[in-house]
Structure 1
Amino acid sequence: TFAQFGSGTFTPGVRTHLSRFMLVDPLALAAEAGHLAGLGVTDALDRLTVDRDALLTTPFHRAAGRAREIARGTGRHGSCGMGIGETARYALSHDDAPRAGDCLSPTRLRHRLTALRDRLTGELGPLDVPDVGSCAEAFLAFARRVRVVDGTYLHDLLHDGDVVFEGAQGVLLDEWHGFHPYTTWSTTTFANAQALLDEAGLPPATRLGVLRTYMTRHGPGPFVTEDPALTADLPDRHNGFGRWQGAFRVGHLDTVALRYALEVAGGADALAVTHLDTAASRTDLRICRSYDIGGEILDRLPTGPPGDLDRQRRLTQRLLTARPLYGEAPADWITTIEEELRVPVALGSYGPTTADKQLITGTDVEPRPRASHESRLLP
Structure 2
Amino acid sequence: MNHVAVVDLGYGDAGKGTVVDWLCATRQVHTVVRFNGGAQAAHNVVLRDGRHHTFAQFGAGTFHPGVRTHLSRHVVVDPLALAAEADHLATVGVPDALDRLTVDGDALLATPYHRAANRAREIARGADRHGSCGLGVGEAVAYGLAHPDDAPRVADCHHPALLRRRLTALRDRLTAELGPLDAPPIEDCLPAFTGFAGRVAIVDGRWLAGALRTGTCVFEGAQGVLLDEWHGFHPYTTWSTTTFANVDSLLAEAGRPGDVTRIGVLRVVTTRHGHGPLVTEDPSLPFVDAHNATNPWQGRFRFGHFDAVAHRYALAAAGGVDGLALTHLDVAGPDLRICRRYDTTDRLTPGPPGDLDRQAALTARLLRSRPVYDEPPTDWAEAVRVELNTPVVLTSHGPTADDKTPHGSLLAPGALARTA
Q: For 1:235 and 1:111, how far apart are their aligned partners in 2?
A: 47
Q: Is the 8 A contact 2:393 2:411 kept in 1?
A: no
Q: For 2:164 and 2:245, how far apart are their aligned partners in 1?
A: 33
The aligned residue for residue 359 of structure 1 is 406
- Aligned with residue 173 of structure 1, among 221, 227, 230: 227
Q: For 1:358 and 1:2, how far apart are their aligned partners in 2?
A: 22
1:289-328 mapped onto 2 (5 Å cutoff): 289-293=340-344, 298-328=345-375
The aligned residue for residue 106 of structure 1 is 160
Shift of 1:203: 3.7
The answer to whether the aligner puts 1:227 opposite 2:282 as a matched pair is: yes
Q: For 1:67 and 1:366, how far apart are their aligned partners in 2?
A: 45
- Normalising by the residue count of structure 2, what TM-score does the alignment of the two structures yield? 0.84
Q: Is the 8 A contact 1:113 1:136 kept in 2?
A: no
The aligned residue for residue 256 of structure 2 is 202
The total of aligned residue pairs comes to 357
Residue deviations 1:32-91 (CA, integer Å, cap 9, x gap): 100000001000000000000000001100000010011111111110010111011110
Shift of 1:366: 7.2
Say which structure, 1 or 2, has more relative contact order (CA 8 Å, 6+ apart).
2
- Aligned with residue 152 of structure 1, among 206, 226, 230: 206
The aligned residue for residue 136 of structure 2 is 83
The answer to whether the aligner puts 1:217 opposite 2:272 as a matched pair is: yes
The answer to whether the aligner puts 1:337 opposite 2:390 as a matched pair is: no
Q: For 1:236 and 1:99, how far apart are their aligned partners in 2?
A: 35
Q: For 2:118 and 2:195, how far apart are their aligned partners in 1?
A: 25
The answer to whether the aligner puts 1:93 opposite 2:140 as a matched pair is: no
Q: For 2:271 and 2:180, how far apart are their aligned partners in 1?
A: 36
The answer to whether the aligner puts 1:115 opposite 2:162 as a matched pair is: no
- Aligned with residue 67 of structure 1, among 100, 108, 120: 120
Supply the AA of the counterpart residue of 1:341: L
Q: For 2:266 and 2:193, how far apart are their aligned partners in 1?
A: 36
Q: Is the 8 A contact 2:307 2:338 kept in 1?
A: yes
The answer to whether the aligner puts 1:264 opposite 2:317 as a matched pair is: yes
The answer to whether the aligner puts 1:287 opposite 2:287 as a matched pair is: no
Shift of 1:159: 1.1
Supply the AA of the counterpart residue of 2:252: D
Counterpart of 1:288 in 2: which secondary structure? strand
Residue deviations 1:293-327 (CA, integer Å, cap 9, x gap): 3xxxx111021110100000000000000000011
Q: Is the 8 A contact 1:344 1:365 kept in 2?
A: no
Supply the AA of the counterpart residue of 1:133: E
The answer to whether the aligner puts 1:17 opposite 2:64 as a matched pair is: no
The answer to whether the aligner puts 1:139 opposite 2:190 as a matched pair is: no
Shift of 1:161: 0.7
Q: For 2:337 and 2:283, how far apart are their aligned partners in 1?
A: 14
Counterpart of 1:127 in 2: which secondary structure? coil
The answer to whether the aligner puts 1:6 opposite 2:53 as a matched pair is: no
- Normalising by the residue count of structure 1, what TM-score does the alignment of the two structures yield? 0.93
Q: For 1:256 and 1:151, how far apart are their aligned partners in 2?
A: 38
Q: For 2:204 and 2:379, how far apart are their aligned partners in 1?
A: 48
Query: Structure 1 regions of 5+ residues with no counterpart?
Result: 368-379
Query: Structure 2 regions of 5+ residues with no counterpart?
Result: 1-53, 413-420
Q: For 1:169 and 1:33, how far apart are their aligned partners in 2?
A: 21
Q: For 2:158 and 2:289, how far apart are their aligned partners in 1?
A: 40
Shift of 1:364: 5.6
